[in-house]
Structure 1
Amino acid sequence: MSDTGLLSKETGTKGPGAPWRPLATRLFATLFLFWILLNGSLSIATLISGLVVAGVIAIFFARNLSFLSGFHLTPAGIGAALLFIGYFLKELVKANLALAKLVLTPALPVDPAIVKVRTKLTDPVGRLLLANAITLTPGTLTCEIKGEFLYVHWVVAQSTDIEVATQEIVAGFERYLEVMYG
């Protein structure tokens, strides 16, 4: 980053701190639209107060929201985010029930293993969300991320084969994260 005010080759924007400006603009637009929808009015007072509130929030918080910079703020990205949340909640319930059944079984049929799975995600935030979704799902815990691989502790390992484990653990989450983070 340069303090010269010249165009940055990386971002195509001007000035110091330039990478957060597109995020601030998107944040402002989203908050302003949300303000109008919540108020249900296009009166001058509503518009002015919305501009002020959205502007202040965007100015003060855009730099702290840099983790959203890779998110594709498109209808497809937003739809994928909603579907990701739904899929995560479904998997959370399924995993909780399966783990409860496992714990209540007298024989306790566990077959733990640390398995290596592959991700196609290249965005660091996308990978972080994937790792967290895996960890928050009972029965799996992401131990480490190295390059395109995640090492996951799996309480009932169905396979230690990379492709099989990737399909079982990663594929469902990844299909939405690929749309969200490309």
Structure 2
Amino acid sequence: MLSFEACNAARLRRDARYDGRFFTAVRTTRVYCRPVCPVKHPLTRNVTYYPTAAAAEAAGYRPCLRCRPETAPFCPAWNGTRSTVARALKLIDSGALERGSVAELAEKLGITSRHLARLFERHLGASPQQVANTRRIQCAKRLLDTTDDTMIEIAFCAGFGSVRRFNAAFAELYGRSPSSVRATARRRRD
């Protein structure tokens, strides 16, 4: 956390470089703000500084309605819907769509499956299921190129439920079977 003096100087200058690095809480109003807040400056003796919006709220302050400190840079809300997509991608990488459906993934994120589909289309240009399939196939391709694992091992390690589904998805994308891709990779290595 920055010193009281550094925070106070940045607040008085409304220095945007400090936006999101600390929050100003005003004892007389019980409101906390960003350093760039356009409201009249409170007296220095009435302010306290916190490193996060959550810390200010835990101390009993409510967010300013003008500067909306909960949306300051470095807060997840600053990234807007990209944060939701990033969380979804982490869950997909950890196997959320191998064990469950898109609706279950959306429920974990606190949104509807239709809204999740819209966010993926807007930010990634593909559906959650398409993203998961592409990641599985890319993983399988790396395993084909770099390991001597069997096709069964690769299919299950990459997240496919069956070798048949793995072969079909791989052939659909690459126009070739996984075994022919592996043979080409082996010839290049030798």
Same fold (TM > 0.5):
no
Which is higher, the Rg of structure 1 or of structure 2?
2
**RCO higher in structure (CA 8 A, sep ≥6):** 1
TM-score of Structure 1 vs Structure 2, range by shorter chain: under 0.3
TM-score (norm 2): 0.21
TM-score, normalised to structure 1, is 0.21
